[in-house]
Amino acid sequence: MSSAETIVIAVGLPGSGKSTYFSKLGVNPISSDAIRLQLADDESDQTIHGRVFATVRYLLKQRLDLHRPITYIDATNLTPKERRPYLKIARERNCRMEALYFDVPLEICKARNAARGRQVPDAAMDQMSKKLIAPTTTEGFDHVEVVR
Ligand SMILES: Nc1ncnc2c1ncn2[C@@H]1O[C@H](COP(=O)(O)OP(=O)(O)OP(=O)(O)O)[C@@H](O)[C@H]1O
Ligand SMILES: [Mg+2]
């Protein structure tokens, strides 16, 4: 028996197009940037990481309690370590778990990042790109959708 709920987490560098994709899809993701804005009045505040992701998980659990059919999570989620808490929640609650992997070359992410309002420093982009590990079904996802 599996439940009807699905969790879909984005995986991708800044500038890879995560928020744009969700906006075009017309859905309302739980967004780590929106939570930074709500907690600290600054969507780029990187000093409250723990609180931000505790809030993401809290909101996700509230949605699952309400049996919302799909919950999207808009954050970079670059490593298995960052993704593990969602896989754990999905297992505990018998949810389907999908990753939406934005497989976009670093140079394109950098160019898009440079052309927008809120900019992530290039050095941070390089660091994040080195950290990025693509999500796989072996890691525990029921499905990995690649967006290019
Ligand atoms: N498919 C696309 N083709 C061209 N430009 C795009 C595409 N998707 C997004 N962009 C542009 O790239 C920029 C970054 O996109 P977006 O903000 O969606 O990235 P993001 O992955 O949400 O980044 P962050 O992790 O920093 O929030 C925006 O200016 C957006 O308009
Ligand atoms: Mg975004």
CATH number at residue 80: 3.40.50.300
Burial of 107 (0-12, 13-18, 19+ CB in 10 A): exposed
Task: State what percent of residues in the chain have pLDDT above 70.
Answer: 98
Q: Calculate the CA 52 to chain-centre distance.
A: 12
Mean pLDDT to the nearest integer, 97-107: 98
Residue closest via CA to ligand 1's atom 3 equals: 17
With cut-offs at 50, 70 and 90, classify the pLDDT of residue 7.
very high
Parent domain of 48 = 6-147
Q: In total, how many domains does the chain have?
A: 1
Residue 1, in any domain of the structure: no
What is the 10 CA–ligand 2 centroid distance (Å)?
10
pLDDT, one tens digit per residue, over 54-69 is 999 999 999 999 999 9
Q: Which residues line ligand 1 (CB under 6 A)?
A: 12, 14-20, 33, 76, 112, 115-116, 120
Residue 111, in any domain of the structure: yes
Angle, CA of 38, 67 and 13, to the nearest 5°: 45
Which ligand minimizes its atom distance to the CA of 76? 1
Residue 143, in any domain of the structure: yes
Mean pLDDT to the nearest integer, 80-102: 98
Residue 142, in any domain of the structure: yes
